[in-house]
Amino acid sequence: MYYTTLEHFKGLSGYEIDGTWYPRVTKIVEIKAKPALYKFYAELNNFAEGESVKKLSASEGTLIHETVEKIMIGESPVIDPSIAPSVNAFMDFIGKNNIQVDNDFVEKQVVNYEDRYAGTLDALALIDGKFGVLDIKTSQAIYRDYNLQTSAYMAALQSQFKNLQTRWILRIDQIKTCFQCGATLRSKGGRDKIRKPKIKNGVNHEKCEHQWSELKGEIELKEFPYWQEDYKAFLGAKKLWEWENEFWLKQEGYL
């Protein structure tokens, strides 16, 4: 990314905490190549269209994020109709599963003073008797890249929480399913995306005249207990990010 001034770089890339600037976890992770994102851009007419879809998609994801987090801490937010299927599925999910969150650690800023970075945690949670980091995503799948981000949170919290055991990704989405072939339709960022059915049923989904179900929420919770190797990879990504942004980091006095 092109930065115009040191303040521009610092504002987009990190946090000022108690008079010290720290790079942001999510900005560091951006240095890793993302083949799925490249494929997304390749499917569109031009780069500008991709940026527009991505921006709108991020806005929709933020709306789900904020609504879900309010519900987790016991609030009763007004639910935007556009995300109602996702939120209703989430409420049904937590009603059937033993998930508790620490209200003081929802959207909580955390700092690793030793390795010098900061991030904003979605939540600390107790799930089925295990205590750990809960990260909420609104993507169409759980990607391995998420492990870098959550490992950074785990490392930052180790000294504060000796009983921190694990981490989870909670994926919240909404889709329509074809009654005939089982394909799914996902609308995000003003763009419709049809995916092949996970199970082949003898129907050619490419030629199917799809008959879509109503929009339904989709919830996936996946645990990733072993974070140490992911953290080594995160520190590698951080080193590369520092190399890439050496000019600005030296101006800030970080390097």
Structure confidence by residue, pLDDT tens digits, 225-243? 999 999 999 999 999 999 9
Residue 116 — φ and ψ, nearest 5°? Answer: 60, 70
Cα–Cα nearest to 122, from 95, 140, 102 = 102
Residue 45 sits in a domain whose CATH number is 3.90.320
Nearest-angstrom CA–CA distance, 220 and 227:
19
Count the Cβ atoms, other than its own, within 10 Å of residue 133. Answer: 28
CB proximity list for 247: less than 8 A, separation 6 or greater:
none
Residue 54 lies in a domain: yes
Residue 182 lies in a domain: no
Give the model's pLDDT for residue 41. 75
Least confident of 38-47, 101-110, 212-221: 38-47
Region 190-215: mean pLDDT is 85
Closest CA to 26 of 164, 146, 166: 146
pLDDT in tens, 134-171: 999 999 999 999 999 999 999 999 999 999 999 999 99
Q: Look at residue 110 and tell me if it is in a domain.
A: yes
Q: Examine the pLDDT at 88 and tell me if it is beyond 80.
A: yes
Average pLDDT over residues 175-204: 86
In a domain, 216, yes or no: no
DSSP 84-97: HHHHHHHHHHHHHS
Per-residue confidence (pLDDT) for residue 199, from 0 to 100? 72
pLDDT at residue 38 is higher than 80: no
What band does 47 get if pLDDT is binned at 50, 70 and 90? confident
Report the amino acid identity of residue 2. Y
In a domain, 252, yes or no: no
Q: How far apart are the first and last CA of the chain?
A: 19
Would you say residue 36 has pLDDT above 80?
no
Taking only the tens place, the pLDDT of each residue in 91-141 is: 999 888 888 998 999 999 999 999 999 999 999 999 989 999 999 999 999
Cβ atoms of 168 and 135 closer than 8 Å:
yes
Determine how β-strand 166-177 pairs with β-strand 216-223. antiparallel
Amino acid at 165: Q
Its domain, for residue 111, covers 23-174+225-247
In a domain, 148, yes or no: yes
Quick check: 7 and 120 in contact, CB under 8 A? no
pLDDT at 20: 97
pTM of the model: 0.91
pLDDT for the residue 229: 97
Residue 14 lies in a domain: no
Output the average pLDDT for the chain. 92
242 in a domain, yes or no? yes
Name the domain count of the chain: 1
Model pLDDT, residue 198:
75
User: Using the 8-state DSSP alphabet, how is residue 133 labeled?
Assistant: E
Q: What is the tens place of the pLDDT at every residue in 178-188?
A: 998 999 999 98
Would residue 219 be called left, alpha or beta, if left means φ above 0 and alpha means ψ between -120 and 50 degrees?
beta
Range in 19-33, 88-102, 110-124, 192-206 the model is least confident about: 192-206
